[in-house]
Structure 1
Amino acid sequence: MRENILPKPMHLLVGLGNPGKAYANTRHNVGFLALEHIRRIWHFPEFTKHKRANALVARGTRADRAVLLTQPQTFMNASGNAVGALARYAKVPTKNIWVIYDDAALPFGHLRVAQNKTSGGHNGIASILAHIPDASFLRFRIGIAPMHAQQISLDQYVLNPCTASETKLLRASFTETAAALDLAFTDTLDRVKERFH
């Protein structure tokens, strides 16, 4: 007699950013850029518009788990609208929501994995916290702190395009992020957070 095996809950992998060509290669769009890199190396299909949420999505499997890559199209400060809608629609538990985003407090290109934290001043994360039950979702924070003194405000800095040297650092960081995601699928979250800190 075959044992009934319940399917594992879906994982919602979210990359934060702003939609539109004007923001495409900006530092604040690191989440979008990382997710596109991951989509390609994981051989997921192209992003398409979700029918129930204002988001672009790509479905696939990774480590024997159903995965929905998600780029909210709500603009950064309303990211939680799309994330909350998708989590409810797909019945994704909060612990299976993993979010990739830029962090201006971390050295450029540095990856840090965290959980159960405040927004840290990031409006996209604050919006998600307002639309899901708790803060247990996993965060993959990619540093975008200025490498040199800036003559502009932080708000202007994050919305400016990445330089060639920054893009090179980010490519390496995105590959590291993909490795961290793969580890999170197969190991304990404590070990993932310890390794990518």
Structure 2
Amino acid sequence: MFVIAGLGNPGLAYAGTRHNVGFGAIDELADSYRIGVDTKKHKGLIGKGNIGGQKVILLKPQTYMNLSGESIREVLDYYKLTPEELLVIYDDINLDPGQLRIREKGSAGGHNGMKNIISHLGTDVFSRIRVGVGSKPPRMDLADYVLGHFSAEELPEVRESLVHAAEAAAMIAAGDMAAAMNKFNGKKK
């Protein structure tokens, strides 16, 4: 079994914001593989299905971004899974909209949701897909920026990056991390 968690904030006020691209990628996966992510469990919304011959749990933590580790820890504990059986998809302000960066491990890079996950898991050795949302304008508050919406010009690239993030996640769940990294890392598709 493999857990794919997309980070975001619950509620309509946050739908479509930069901080919610992880939720967007989970929605893309759910649509592509006909997995309903609608069961309230483990402080999140989950859906179970099959991707590439692998049983998966799609997870959208409902704890708000900065407490995402609570939900992820509960899911891993309940299903007796290790952090190596986890993939986290989240926003990155250091990447342009449309860019992806896939890694097998790494630091939180200043992302509070990832800091919380690493703290709850006690390790940074788990897969992640960072989805570019662009850097904040000078003199703008970071929270205001990531909780803001994409411009009309950015939306097509962002939508395409969510499709690619879902495709990469499916490859990783099926055991092909190297192929996902080779196909998607750093390239604007």
Q: Which residue of 2 aligns with 1:195?
A: 183
Q: Which residue of 2 aligns with 1:6?
A: none
Indicate conservation of the 8 Å contact 2:38/2:47, yes or no. yes
Distance 1:59 1:33 in 2: 17
Matches within 5 A, 1:152-191: 152-191=140-179
Distance 1:44 1:118 in 2: 30
CA distance 1:173–1:56, shift in 2 (3 Å): same
CA distance 1:127–1:115, shift in 2 (3 Å): same
Aligned residues: 185
Indicate conservation of the 8 Å contact 2:69/2:116, yes or no. yes
Unaligned runs of 5+ in 1: 1-9
Distance 1:71 1:149 in 2: 28
**Superimposed CA distance per residue, residues 134-159 of structure 1 (whole angstroms, 9 cap, x where no aligned partner):** 2221000000114x845522221111
Indicate conservation of the 8 Å contact 1:98/1:139, yes or no. yes
Q: CA deviation at 1:188?
A: 4.1
Unaligned runs of 5+ in 2: none
Moved over 6 A (4+): none
Q: Which residue of 1 aligns with 2:130?
A: 141
Residue 117 of structure 1: which of 76, 93, 106 is its match? Answer: 106
Q: CA deviation at 1:164?
A: 2.5
* 2:59 is aligned with 1:74: no
Residue 19 of structure 1: which of 5, 10, 18 is its match? Answer: 10
Q: Which residue of 1 aligns with 2:29?
A: 38
SS of 1:86's partner is: helix
Bigger Rg, which one: 1
Aligned-CA RMSD value: 1.7
Query: Which letter does structure 2 place at the counterpart of 1:73?
Result: Q
Indicate the larger mover: 76-85 or 171-180.
171-180
SS of 2:19's partner is: helix
Distance 1:71 1:25 in 2: 14
Matches within 5 A, 1:37-116: 37-50=28-41, 53-116=42-105
Give the TM-score taking structure 2 as reference length. 0.91
